[in-house]
Structure 1
């Protein structure tokens, strides 16, 4: 098995290590030539995943030139996906692309698969998402993810190609639901991080996770998703992971915000842009998403954390939905 992974961040590198450990040959593309040289010489990705050795069958490259018929895993941040696809569209034309990014494009409200359909219309697109930390995957710890592909036959092929002894892929055809689950849970994770950082308690976190999940399902079903998808790995599973661990960048960002501390600006926090994009989507469709709206308002400094909490607690009493 031979694949190209575009994006040498933590997740792309972890997937490369997992696949190479099973005997796969992996080209790991990075846009930074200096990073390619570092990985080639040190056999580690010190910038993104320090302490993890890169197997010999991983070849760091700075030119994206996949072999004919080779599957390409695209692991770049959602907000940079359009630029990446625009720059490399010729190399990706007609290929199978597995998108490994989570979020909603800020300027357009589009999901990653919709951006890919616009810029590389002749590519076959699948999505890999679900509860995982890159370090767990790279260390060979048991992990289960969702592989979403509208073409069931292609989905089965990719499932067999990309699963390993420690990385188990479950297949769905609901790409919309899988993408929205992975995107929306990041917003709720920021909210939960704020709650724990501000020492508002685990009971408050549990409430936010539960009501946040209701928001996720509400928007996803309005956009055509199967609610059952949100109950799986790409929705509930990812929500549970990212709302309970400081390994999650979204949770740890919210945690720093709740404590009034600075957060490393070099770390990508997909939920920040997603909160703003989803708030606009929900308002345009008159969908009630109060937690998402409050997170967006706090991030835009329109509300303080105390004011956001007060606004949520002051909402009218209602039946649980």
Structure 2
């Protein structure tokens, strides 16, 4: 049996591992430090349809983050290139659990116990939502190392965004600011997760022959089209009742292009940032209103501002 090897952060095979670790630890946060109860006044003013959309998008996001924390990151670990990469994945895995838990904090603040039960019953049984979770999870369990990375990037940089649209929209209208604060922190994490996993994908993809690359790209784009077709159905299901469907679909296509950029591929859809509802884009770019969530436990845990995501965030 070979000797067990201690991890040495002073001898790096890939500097990106260290840079990503430092970025992720610098961004550390917990949902319990955000005053969600301050949004109750806004919530009481919402109509039935608006409440239904908020509840269901957060139910869907909970399901996808559960998938990432329980299956997604674990599926990537067997194919690491460096010990430091596994340490980064350990961090990502934990933060995906924080993300999943944060939605429950939102539910416990805004919803009654009976409503929460109904939200999770809908989440665990809705066929359209379950389709994308099962599709991604199947790749995690049966796909090749590169296919698993594509599935992870598509999930984090594309499929989440049908849900993210809602809190960003309301933030742009000065509603649910603290709920949106959590979403912006999640967005910041997912931006790093997507770029890092996309970078690791590119290392492996570049080792393929030209013929293998073309075959793989055909599989990848077929997957994207399939997921987008399902996401159109999901968007209609959620947003037809409030009339936002067309705007959300633009947002989805824009972020599908971002997912492809993470993977080193050219954008597929014509949609750009200029086509996205400016209220939502402004919600992404607005700095966090809570600068020090951790002041009660010491100045060593100061949390930095949430910055606007630029195209450069998807490149190393």
TM-score normalised to the size of structure 1?
Answer: 0.28
More strand by percentage: 1
Flag the structure with more relative contact order, 1 or 2, with Cα contacts below 8 A and sequence separation at least 6. Answer: 2
TM-score normalised to the size of structure 2?
Answer: 0.29
